[in-house]
A and B are shown apart, each in its own frame.
Chain A
């Protein structure tokens, strides 16, 4: 049996299914439901076993189409930075507000992806977000919470 990344993913999925199954057995059901033909843990238990079955098969059966990924050619740095920016965006959006955080998220993302045309970067962040906000909040009546705009009196 060749050990390749697909097999490792299958092994991880097998372990995950086992954990899922264990957790499924721990689901607390009402006493009167304990021996019922179907209760809250029935379906998850079957799912857990199905997960073990298919990942187990993937582990033991031969892998005819092995996928080889050239990690040297992958752009981990930029992808990582983008994910971190997205996490910071997620962490600040409620406290600071939609307009400022979204505009800064777009602006910094353009920058870290290698863009240096400042005017275009600005136009596709601050005015773009303002226009999109108007579409959502003003036209489509979708509420957007924004403490920053509220503090400067732009939003009610």
Chain B
């Protein structure tokens, strides 16, 4: 492992890669501060830029963007009570009251230090857990992978907002259907192409991500007359005050950070769960664990109440890399985008990644730590200035997002058809967004579609067409039972809620 860490460090600490982490954190912070535009959009917009880099640098850039976007989301949560990303909603519970008391700088500093500590601790957990899990996952067979993918897709649907399970499952199916377009990987038979040569190779992953996130978010902003830059304009005018944290506040943070980082990391590892659930759980747990007098301060500017969700959401970000790097199965929409980008580089993440491409595996883990340092040293003092950059009118922001999306597709295929297809998918996605159909399950399903079919194919061929493989192995059976319980529970809840 030491050798791996050194490989990772030597890759991550090159001038180019440090520069990429800085660029990624900076750009991610900018996007994360805009309510409505989250880490997935930020990463999607970065994909065309990464074409020119080697895979390690590309992934390092995207990891930097991810952390930056989460940090940027915290800033608008604290200063404006307008969370840029769902994972920072819990941050606003105590961060915003603190800012209203004239302690905006202090609240940002607590958030930044908690994020740093949460990210650092979880990077350490990841450092030790990922190789062990990779070794364990080498014993996984095709039926286990197939079951695990179904669980991942069901879980992401289940963790979507309240009452959206069936909608999310429909999006999962739609994502799998889109992934099935093109040549069958084994027989080369074309499917759902309707004799259109442009569809023979299937629909590009970048196209689907750009259409369902970047482009449809831009169209939704115009359609709903939102102005995400309004928040940034306000931030640029906010008096931050001192960013110093006193001894008593530090004492509170020392207790909160370790426990919140553990819960955040573990939640992040679970497929489908992520920063949002981690931050809410950490907030709730912290409220139960503190003394009664501190409990009273929750919701009114508590240091523990701010530190806990911030630690947990950053820890969850690192945690979500575990299933992607070790199993090749992304646990969240954001890591699904990263997985898609890696596949684009010709790299298949999975248990063998850290043996076949140790420089990628370890440099990503190391760059997470570097990203945390960058966020703390550079981004915290620069918040008011970043906000000023952001205070551009949406009249410029929206065309620029569309421009990046279309350019991303253009440089990939030099094909008009792909641009039309992207616009078509974006229009449908915009309409579906209006009615709260979630997009992350679609992306996750699209990425996993090919792998899922491959594992089902192997399982069925090995069992000679019998479905016994679903219960032959205890692991497969347990995973599938969990999946069925999730589905039944959500359907039951839908029926019961109406009757009650």
Chain A residues near B (Cβ < 8 Å): 5-6, 9-10, 13, 17, 20, 23-24, 27-30, 33, 36-44, 47, 50-51, 54-55, 57-58, 61-62, 64-65, 67, 69, 73-76, 78-79, 82-83, 86-87, 89-91, 93-94, 98, 102, 105-106, 109-110, 113-115, 120, 124, 132, 136, 139-145
- Bound CA–CA A117/B251 (angstroms): 52
- Bound CA–CA A94/B411 (angstroms): 11
The residues of A that contact B51 with a CB separation of less than 8 Å are 140, 142
Question: Of residues A20, A40, A75, which shows the largest number of chain B Cβ atoms within 10 Å of its Cβ?
Answer: A40
Contact B416 A17 (CB under 8 A): no
Chain B residues near A (Cβ < 8 Å): 48-49, 51-53, 162-164, 166-167, 169-170, 173-174, 176-177, 180, 184, 186-187, 189, 191-192, 219, 222-225, 393-396, 398-400, 402-403, 406-407, 410-411, 414-416, 419-420, 423, 427, 430, 432, 434-437, 452-453, 456-457, 460-461, 463-465, 491, 494-495, 497-498
Tell me the dominant secondary structure on chain B's binding face.
helix
Partner among A28, A38, A64 whose Cβ is within 8 Å of the Cβ of B456: A38
Contact B166 A58 (CB under 8 A): yes
Contact B225 A75 (CB under 8 A): yes
Question: Of residues B173, B398, B402, B460, which shows the largest number of chain A Cβ atoms within 10 Å of its Cβ?
Answer: B173
In the complex, 10 of the A-B residue pairs with CB atoms within 8 angstroms, ordered by the A residue number, are A37-B464, A38-B461, A42-B460, A73-B225, A74-B224, A98-B407, A105-B406, A115-B393, A136-B48, A136-B407
Known: A44-B191, A54-B166. A89 touches B406 (CB 8 A): yes
- Bound CA–CA A36/B465 (angstroms): 8
Closest 10 CB pairs of A and B: A140-B52, A37-B465, A90-B419, A109-B399, A62-B498, A65-B163, A40-B184, A113-B395, A115-B395, A40-B189
- Bound CA–CA A62/B224 (angstroms): 27
The residues of A that contact B491 with a CB separation of less than 8 Å are 57, 61
Contact A29 B395 (CB under 8 A): no
The residues of B that contact A69 with a CB separation of less than 8 Å are 434-435
Contact A67 B399 (CB under 8 A): no
Known: A42-B460, A44-B180, A140-B52. A55 touches B407 (CB 8 A): no
Contact B423 A86 (CB under 8 A): yes
- Bound CA–CA A30/B399 (angstroms): 48
Contact B187 A75 (CB under 8 A): no
- Bound CA–CA A110/B49 (angstroms): 24
Contact B223 A76 (CB under 8 A): yes
The residues of B that contact A106 with a CB separation of less than 8 Å are 399-400, 403
The residues of B that contact A42 with a CB separation of less than 8 Å are 456-457, 460
Q: Closest Cβ of chain A: how far from B118's Cβ, in Å?
A: 32
Q: Determine the residue in chain A with the shortest Cβ distance to B226.
A: A75
Contact A43 B411 (CB under 8 A): no
- Bound CA–CA A118/B452 (angstroms): 52
Partner among B52, B163, B191, B427 whose Cβ is within 8 Å of the Cβ of A141: B52
- Bound CA–CA A143/B402 (angstroms): 20
The residues of B that contact A67 with a CB separation of less than 8 Å are 434-436
- Bound CA–CA A76/B175 (angstroms): 27
Q: Closest Cβ of chain A: how far from B352's Cβ, in Å?
A: 24
- Bound CA–CA A53/B321 (angstroms): 32
Contact B173 A54 (CB under 8 A): yes
- Bound CA–CA A33/B222 (angstroms): 50
The residues of B that contact A115 with a CB separation of less than 8 Å are 393, 395-396
Contact A142 B176 (CB under 8 A): no
Contact B189 A27 (CB under 8 A): yes
The residues of A that contact B452 with a CB separation of less than 8 Å are 43
Partner among B180, B189, B222, B393 whose Cβ is within 8 Å of the Cβ of A82: B222
The residues of A that contact B497 with a CB separation of less than 8 Å are 62, 64
The residues of A that contact B394 with a CB separation of less than 8 Å are 113
The residues of A that contact B410 with a CB separation of less than 8 Å are 93, 98
The residues of A that contact B416 with a CB separation of less than 8 Å are 90-91, 93-94
Contact A20 B177 (CB under 8 A): yes
The residues of A that contact B435 with a CB separation of less than 8 Å are 5-6, 9, 67, 69
Given contacts A58-B170, A64-B498, 10 further A-B contacts (CB under 8 A): A13-B170, A38-B460, A38-B465, A41-B191, A42-B460, A44-B191, A54-B166, A57-B491, A105-B406, A136-B407
Q: Closest Cβ of chain B: how far from A69's Cβ, in Å?
A: 5
- Bound CA–CA A5/B435 (angstroms): 8
- Bound CA–CA A115/B224 (angstroms): 18
Contact B162 A113 (CB under 8 A): no
Q: Closest Cβ of chain B: how far from A64's Cβ, in Å?
A: 5
The residues of A that contact B222 with a CB separation of less than 8 Å are 75, 78-79, 82, 113
Contact A105 B187 (CB under 8 A): no
Known: A38-B457, A93-B416. A50 touches B49 (CB 8 A): no
Q: Determine the residue in chain A with the shortest Cβ distance to B457.
A: A38
The residues of A that contact B186 with a CB separation of less than 8 Å are 40
Q: Closest Cβ of chain B: how far from A134's Cβ, in Å?
A: 13
- Bound CA–CA A43/B186 (angstroms): 13
Contact A39 B399 (CB under 8 A): no
Contact A102 B457 (CB under 8 A): no
